[in-house]
Amino acid sequence: MVTGQGRIESIVRVWLPVGFFLVLALFPFYWMAITSIKPNAELYNRNVMPLIVHAPTLKHYVDLLTKTSFLLWTWNTMLVAIVATAISLVLGAMLAYPLARMRFAGAGLIAMTVAAIYLVPQPLLFIPLADVINRLDLGNTLTSVILTYPTMLVPFCAWLLLGYFKTVPKELEEAARIDGASRLQTMRRIFLPLCTPGFISAGIFAFTLSQNEFLYALIFLTKTTVRTVPVGVIAELIRGDVFYWGQLMAGALLGSIPVALIYSFFVEHYVAGLTTGSVKG
């Protein structure tokens, strides 16, 4: 099959379209990366060829890390994402387990409600929520976003975990019940340890969504010290009409790395979660 014609055909049928989509998907990241290591003299000179770097420099990274609070924003983002994800996994599992395993009046209604809440986009709620956060005196605290991110993540985790829980066979739980274990013991000691892959999937998605969140962080966090990366980058690296493109691109690249790393480790879980058709697009 390695005839010359077969190879040409495979290039045309496979690599022409796939290559097109790859270039389209990756060019902005390439542009981000090379902009971040170009000296300003090169960035703002229209007479040099822009697609390659002529005199690479790390100046923008040094400036970003020493002259802005980028490291602090990264810490805030991580802290918020991890705590919000943990809360959402716990609360999500508490919703999903009864819905997956128990028979009780109202189960259908609760499942519908959770699914509907999962689909409510933030812009529908941000104005009243801003007022609620103000009245609770939580403005400019990380607590404000740690509390509000789970409003989108809990229904999401519950829905994803519900799907996973239903695929786990019931026999072990039934055996534990016959041996006299209570429902709570059965759930915690027998059932949940079987569901690690489901929790990893839901956890990665929740973490990614937390890192991506912008609207609540923009409204609730207006002080440098409590900002997350997306808000910090937008609010403090764009000063009026002045754009620090080198630093902006360095920040965008560094800010993308945690998500990209986690994603690269768990890409199969991620794709599996995506293709159950239950992820926000």
Identify which of residues 105 and 171 has a Cβ nearer to other proteins in the complex. 105
Q: How is residue 256 written in tokens?
A: 């993308």
CB of 178 to other proteins, least distance (A): 13
| Entry field: residues in the chain | 281
CB of 133 to other proteins, least distance (A): 10
Spell out the long-range contacts of 218-223 with Cβ–Cβ below 8 A and sequence spacing 24 or more: 219/126, 219/130, 220/130, 220/133, 220/138, 220/139, 220/140, 220/144, 220/145, 220/148, 221/140, 221/142, 221/144, 221/145, 222/139, 222/140, 223/140
CB of 196 to other proteins, least distance (A): 20
Identify which of residues 43 and 194 has a Cβ nearer to other proteins in the complex. 43
CB of 167 to other proteins, least distance (A): 14
Identify which of residues 75 and 243 has a Cβ nearer to other proteins in the complex. 243
Identify which of residues 168 and 263 has a Cβ nearer to other proteins in the complex. 263
Identify which of residues 4 and 108 has a Cβ nearer to other proteins in the complex. 108
CB of 75 to other proteins, least distance (A): 16
CB of 225 to other proteins, least distance (A): 19
Distance from C-alpha of 75 to C-alpha of 181, rounded to nearest angstrom: 42
Identify which of residues 62 and 243 has a Cβ nearer to other proteins in the complex. 243
